[in-house]
Structure 1
Amino acid sequence: MEAPAAATRHVLFLNWRDTRNPEGGGSEVYVERIAGELVRRGHRATLLCATHTEGPAEEITDHGVRVLRRGGRHTVYLRAALVYLAGTIGLGPLARRTGGRPDLIVDVGNGLPFLSALYARRPVIALVHHVHREQWPVVLGRWLARFGWWVESWLAPRVYRHCQYVTVSAATRRELATLGIDPQRVAIVHNGTPDMTIGPVPRSTQPSLVVLGRLVPHKQVEVALRAVAALAGELPGLTLTVAGQGWWESQLRQTAVDLGVAERVTFTGFVTDIEKRELLASAWVALTPSLKEGWGLTIVEAGAVGTPTVAFRGAGGVEEALVHGETGLLADDVDDFVAKVRHLLVDDAYRAAMGSAARAHAARFTWPVSGEKFAALVTRAANVPAGTPAKRWEETYELTP
């Protein structure tokens, strides 16, 4: 344990999901690991998220983070406001169960933010993994997509106009600037790389691919299926493992059937951390065909076990999680994606060199380093009165990238 911080804080994280949620992903890993790093530094951390069947209403994680699950997929936003407001007068569950009101709120915006800056009389840090401009039309119908984009692109920047922002990549900081958010107010705190230490895991004897993540449309797993279909004739032993779960799985299974590759594709469903490490370590190449990622956690996870990745250029933070031509390859379109997958599969020396470089690149990103940066932001933000104009923030606290 590290020595407690000179001035400890109680930090309340508002996030729609947690890592035990069946639909949880890299955003949830980031929030809980950062919260755990704050706990290691003497702070207290509470995560308020939606309820689900895989976790109790309240628990404490292995990293010492208290998790409160309230509301459902859509009502969690209102429940967060009610819990906070009750806690501010010392009567609600937040005050009783966490020992008092939070000193600071980290409001995580996964497309729709909690808008806590409207009601919280505490400093707020707005955490944005990536901008969802491309995802809204894919996930929602026309009118709901317009509403979601209006909230993200017009309402949120105005609600958080006095707040410090945090994101996980320079790509997202540039996108936030297009929404009118001054880059000087946006700090970058990268993801750490999870511990991928495992015993000896041999590579598969035949060419193998792996996709890891939630099975939802904007992850574009269909691209991986098309790559298998395109390369199967040249590489008869080629297989693909799709690790993860989500409501789009039935459609992906049907696509595999339609493409004639169903016998080559294994859908594992949820995998444990150990199973994930073994899958990534045994595969020849990892694929991240996602439309947009704030960072690309699975890319550095694969890199940590020496597996290079193919992803799309322009897909957000993947261009930082992956160094094109060194730790993996970035494709311009689907045909180029397939071509780059083929290049890595057929050239053993090229693939091995990229795997070694990917392992070294992944080692640069650690949770303790990220936690130290975030803790500094917490200390600084907690000392700024709520509602302080952004200009005074910048002048007084020298906000820099």
Structure 2
Amino acid sequence: MLSRSTSIDVLFVNWRDVSHPEGGGSERYVHRMAEGLAGAGLTVELFCAAHDRAPAEEMLGGVRIVRRGGRLGVYPRALRHVLRTRPRLVVDVQNGLPFASPLVTRRPVVNLVHHVHREQWPIVFGRVGGAIGWWVESVLAPRIYRRSRYVTVSTATAEELAGLGIDRGRLSLVRNGVEPPLPVTSVRSAAPHLVVLGRLVPHKRVEHAIEVVARLRDRWPDLRLSVVGEGWWDAELRARAVALGVDDVVDFTGHVDEQAKHEELARAWVHLCPSVKEGWGLVVTEAGSHRVPTVGYRSAGGLNESVVDGVTGVLVDDLDGMVEAVDDLLANENRRLAMGKAAARHAASFHWPASVRGFAAALASAVRETRPAVRGSAVPVAVVQDVDRLVGRLDAVVGVEGGLDTDDSGDAERGPAAEGDEHGDQGLHSGTRFHGGRRRSVTVEGVAVIHNTDPLTITSQHA
């Protein structure tokens, strides 16, 4: 199986790419990591599902994109691609279903998980299909990746993965960066304007945003909602707006380009994020970059980190709470503007280059963890040389000599508080440490926590 050298340093396998009609924040994260590694001199490829808006193959940002198969067909085709190309390292992007690359290669495999899909399976596939999907994600996948390093984007997901029995020493946390906001011509709407942005699928619960408008319409007769995005749940959402009598004030924009997306955000007063689950919620920080606070659900996981509750937005427990929070922000201009300013400061603290360095550090750990097994097995010299070469290239991306601080004493990982931050431990971008817990506990100890603000810091490294 492991018989010859390869020209691909890192192969990402994902069911979608950023150009896919259903692409979102997780796909943007993958592209930024891939482009960053390619920009540092590695040969990087992304294998994903085909769609009618992009060619079967292209170069994008220095990354070769290969598109084959559909929603389910991409999985067996990806395994065949791994077998055929024999990359030095594989990054499986698990969106519920695993790609299972460890079954076909002995090279290092890193499993990137944005969030756990426990709540989403029954919503999309029903009780029986959801139970099967959850068994695959919670039982089968951890078994397949039992020797692999995991990367995730939030402490919430890290805790859930630990609850599934993932060895906490194999978990690395690398948060999202944020794109600099595009220059816009739009100004804040004179009338109250809400925005919800993302794929139109059931687990995003855009219905809740529409319900908010319906409940507040009498109090705010000029209130409007922009629904930005597309998906197979579109017709259901439009029907819901009609049923609630608000179809005349809910605008469905469909798919928009980056410029149009930023124009919509710049017009909004408040961003709503009613998702069942978010690994991080990239759109939260995108909205924040336009000084727009977010109202979302506390139970959504990663929103507890992308939203600083009471500072950059408001986290609530249910739909009633969302209606109340939105009403309060619409009525209290000073509070809304203060949160928007804090949200912009919070968003500005996240940087993609530092995220790429953190991601490269996690990949380097995965290669080092695999190297003893490779050296001890009967594999060709060329393969051993490939592994050693990849470690050197990844270390060059990380900048080991000056870019990492592996000291784990005290609160060193937290760094200084944001300028003007009076909230102490509730600051805009405080560090994260995991304490205590045993296997199967939802607390995590010894996770490599990689913050993407400069300077890059790792609280504890298990390589």
TM-score in terms of structure 2 length:
0.78
3-state SS of 2:357 partner: helix
Tell me the equivalent position of 1:201. Answer: 186
Per the alignment, residue 48 of structure 1 pairs with 47
1:92 corresponds in structure 2 to none
Judged with a 3 Å threshold, the aligned counterparts in structure 2 of structure 1 residues 400 and 197 are, in CA distance, closer, same or farther, namely farther
Aligned counterpart, 2:74:
76
Compared with structure 1, are the counterparts of its residues 363 and 243 closer, same or farther at alpha carbon in structure 2 (3 Å cutoff)?
same
Aligned to 1:22: 21
Secondary structure of 2:248 counterpart: helix
Shift in Å at residue 366 of structure 1? Answer: 1.0
Deviation string 1:291-340 (CA, Å, 9 cap, x unpaired) is: 00000001000001100000001201011000000000001111001000
Deviations 1:213-265 (A, max 9, x none): 00000000010001001111011100000000000010000000000100000
CA contact (8 A) 2:16 2:48 kept: yes
Instruction: Name the counterpart of 1:270.
Output: 255
How far is the alpha carbon of 1:387 from its aligned partner? Answer: 9.2
Offset of 1:196 from its aligned partner? 1.1
TM-score (norm 1): 0.90
- What secondary structure sits across from 1:79 in the alignment? helix
Deviations 1:24-81 (A, max 9, x none): 11111110111111112111210000111111110011x2111000111101110011
CA distance in 2, matches of 1:316, 1:291: 9
Question: Matches of 1:112 and 1:170 in 2, distance apart?
Answer: 21
Contact in 2 for aligned 1:162/1:387 (Cα 8 Å): no
1:175 aligns with 2:160: yes
Aligned partners of 2:288, 2:335: CA distance in 1, in Å? 15
Residue pairs, 1:175-324, within 5 angstroms: 175-324=160-309
Q: Distance in 2 between matches of 1:266 and 1:200?
A: 20
Query: Where does residue 346 of structure 1 map in the other structure?
Result: 331
Task: State how far apart, in whole Å, the 2-side matches of 1:377 and 1:213 are.
Answer: 28
Offset at residue 194 of structure 1 (A): 1.5
Task: Tell me the residue number matched to 2:62.
Answer: 64
Q: Distance in 1 between matches of 2:28 and 2:130?
A: 26
Aligned-residue offset at 1:352: 0.3
Alignment partners' CA distance in 2, 1:324 and 1:258: 32
CA distance in 2, matches of 1:31, 1:326: 29
Q: Secondary structure at the match of 2:370?
A: coil
In the alignment, residue 142 of structure 2 is paired with which amino acid? P
Query: Could you tell me how far 1:199 is from its partner in structure 2?
Result: 3.6
Q: Which runs of 5+ in 1 are unaligned?
A: 1-7, 88-100
SS at match of 1:12: strand
Q: Secondary structure at the match of 2:117?
A: coil
Contact kept, 8 Å, 1:185 with 1:399, in 2: the verdict is no
Distance 1:256 1:149, change over 3 A: same
RMSD: 1.7
Q: Give, in angstroms, the shift of residue 143 of structure 1.
A: 2.0
Aligned-partner Cα distance in 2 for 1:73–1:9: 25
Unpaired stretches in structure 2, ≥5 consecutive residues: 1-6, 375-445, 447-459
Larger displacement relative to structure 2 (194-203 or 254-263): 194-203
SS in 1 for 2:151: strand
- Give 4+ residue runs of structure 1 displaced > 4 Å after superposition: 386-389
Aligned length: 373
Partners of 2:323 and 2:337 in 1: how far apart? 19
- For 1:234, the aligned partner's letter is R
